[in-house]
Amino acid sequence: MKILGSRRGITQSFENHQYEAEDYAGEHLSDVKIFGTAKVISIVDKYKSHEHTINYNDFLKNVNKWRDGNYYNCISITGNKVRYHHNELGGNEVWLETFFDNEKKHFRITHLDAVLVKIGDIIDSNTIIGKQGNTGLVLSNKPVTDITYGSHIHFEVRDENYNFINPRSYAVGDLIVNYIPQSNEINNNQKQIKIIADIINIREKYTVNSNNIGNVYKGEIYTVLDEINDNKYTWYKINTNRNSIGFVASLKNGRWIEVLDNDRHIDIVDDNYNSIKNKKIENIFECKKDGLYAIRLKKGESIYIS
């Protein structure tokens, strides 16, 4: 059995989802179906999209204040009070049991707008499991007034002991159309950036008001296609991991993005700013990671930074 549905693309990969799931964004309220057959073993179907949607960042700020034992007394993005059990932060969801290569697997699909099956149902590719929605805890940079706010599918695959499995091979067809895995390979012949912040939005254009078309994550490396500066940000044009062109911003004087020095050339200037490129120098230290380092110098000695 494999999951499929309307045209969707990966917005958060297994590696960047704390090794538990992947997120797939597509058209709000689009059908969610599967290949093969499965049994519905559990559902949650009591929340309304948008009305009961929790802003992820608000949740992080208020998690201790909102928590009441195993429950969270949250405030939705529309201002409603909504009570979530800690196992129900995925909003409306469906658990499926199936066999794949003669091994039992459990599939979890969350954030549904509506659940259209019931416990005990045996479903197949003709069954609409539910509609893509934004119930539960979601992350989005759309205005909270946008009814599609945070709409996506959170998809988990677990073995018979409920250990997490990378769901990529179980998500096929249009679900992962145009996805290109981030290789993170350094290319010494091109200007590249390394993402330092945990997450940065990819914008359709180089403005904070432009459409959000995905995210980049800490540790990823991208080749720079163009660079644009404004008063507050440096914008880097990149080919995203969804095979589309977008822009990521780095706050000036901030630690969001590191520009990699892939030239490996030495361009040294003395106190009089005269080029001394041919001067013989000795590499006495190579910085392996960011940090604070102390150096003791003698009178007349110089430091050259590459």
pLDDT per residue, tens digit, the chain (306 aa), is 345 455 677 788 888 887 888 898 888 999 898 877 888 999 999 999 999 999 999 999 999 999 999 999 999 999 999 999 999 999 999 999 887 766 888 999 999 999 999 998 988 878 899 999 999 999 887 888 899 999 999 999 999 889 999 887 777 543 332 333 455 677 777 889 998 887 788 888 999 888 877 777 777 888 899 999 999 999 999 986 555 688 999 998 888 999 986 654 434 444 444 444 445 566 677 777 777 777 777 777 777 766
The pLDDT assigned to 65 comes to 96
| CA separation for the pair 73, 28 (Å, rounded) | 26
Please name the fold of domain 192-260. Answer: SH3 type barrels. (2.30.30)
Instruction: Give the bridge partners for 137, in sequence order.
Output: 54
Domain extents in the chain: 2-176, 192-260
**CATH architecture designation of domain 2-176:** Distorted Sandwich (2.70)
State the DSSP string of the chain. -EEEESSEEEEE-STTTTTS-EEEEESTT-EEEEES-EEEEEEE----TTTTEEEHHHHHHHHHHHEETTEEEEE-TTS-EEEEEGGGTT-EEEEEEEEETTEEEEEEEEEEEEE---TT-EE-TT---EEEB--EEE---S-TTSTTTT-BEEEEEEETT--EE-GGGGB-GGGGTT---------TTS-EEEE-SSEEEEESSSSTTSPEEEEEETT-EEE-SEEEE-SSEEEEEEE-TTS-EEEEEEETTSSSEEEE--S-----B-TT--B-TTS---------SS--------TT------
